[in-house]
Amino acid sequence: MHFARIALAALALGLTQGAIVRADVLDTKLPAQAWSKTFGNMRVQKYGSGSPALILVPGLACGPWSYRDTIGREAAKHAVYAVTLAGFDGLPAGEDATLDAAEASIVTLITSEHLDKPVLVGHSLGGTLALRFGIDHSDLVRAVVAVDGLPVFASLAEASAEQRAAAAQQFYTSVNSASAADYAKVETGYVDDYVTDQTLAAKVATLALRSDQKAVAEYGKELQLLDLRPQLSKIAVPAAEIAPIPSVPLPSYMPAFMAQMSASDRSAVTIGFYQSLLAGAPAIKVLPVADSRHFIMLDQPAAFASTLDGFIATLK
């Protein structure tokens, strides 16, 4: 998850009517778990069977619970590998809670389990990691899917390397030095804007607080330092960006003037914005999901699954 409202304003530029909420989505019954193992410094839980396999990577401060409904739907036809990154969802951070370690751990998962070209799906921070993995390891995957995760932190897209470094350090210091109570208050406040249904948002905030505060600071700092745009041309497999289109009432991080635009104009602006940041990736598809915020798979589980399945169906 992101902490900067200005970044979220840039990430979610859309408006449609008639939001459908699912406060029960985190209670979806999971299929039987095949196993739970450790690869590098991450934990992986396997569900279901079938090809292509899906590797699901959560976002900042999140665990596999963010994909609970997705796991339940996809395990009927795919082997699903649900990841917990070091430091998140109660997993100890250890000495190396970094994107480098996360990427290496995914390589270990794929090679040690002999996965045949899985589809790597990542949300938010996990989406940025999926794009980075496609840059470095296209030979190991069939496709990469970013779910509201971008190659550069949106509010820093026009910043210099020095400005990104300063913003990243400020983020790290503010998060790492906050008291537990202050951190919980800020986290809960932001989650209210990330999820359409407020009952569901409260559940998400409670679950997110199971993650290690310092690890959140470390990953968030690294995320803000990144700019993968110059390397996107190295992604040699199909890629997709699943983008949220929030509905009325607008989340507070969106500019008020957006409400004066037509729904079709806002959708076009959303897609155009994502395409502008992903322009270097060959043939990447931006796939919008209406009536959703940052946690697309929780706000619109059926539409998210349909969008993901539709993309997978195009793969050879």
Each of the 316 residues of the chain gets a pLDDT tens digit; together they read 443 333 333 333 322 333 344 558 888 889 999 999 999 999 999 999 999 999 999 999 999 999 999 999 999 999 999 999 999 999 999 889 999 999 999 999 999 999 999 999 999 999 999 999 999 999 999 999 999 999 999 889 999 999 999 999 999 999 999 999 999 998 888 888 889 888 999 999 999 999 999 999 999 999 999 999 999 999 999 999 999 988 777 667 666 776 777 778 878 888 898 999 999 888 899 999 998 889 999 999 999 999 999 999 999 8
Cα 132 → chain centroid: 13
pTM, two decimals, is: 0.91
- Tally of CB atoms within 10 A around 118: 23
Question: Phi/psi of residue 12, each to 5°?
Answer: -130, 80
Output DSSP code: residue 102: H
Residue 81 to residues 136, 139, 239, Cα–Cα distance (Å): 20, 19, 19
Question: For residues 171 and 219, what is the distance between their CA atoms, to the nearest angstrom?
Answer: 10
298 contacts 69 by C-beta, under 8 angstroms: yes
3-state secondary structure of 49: coil
> Domains of the chain by range and CATH?
5-313 (3.40.50.1820)
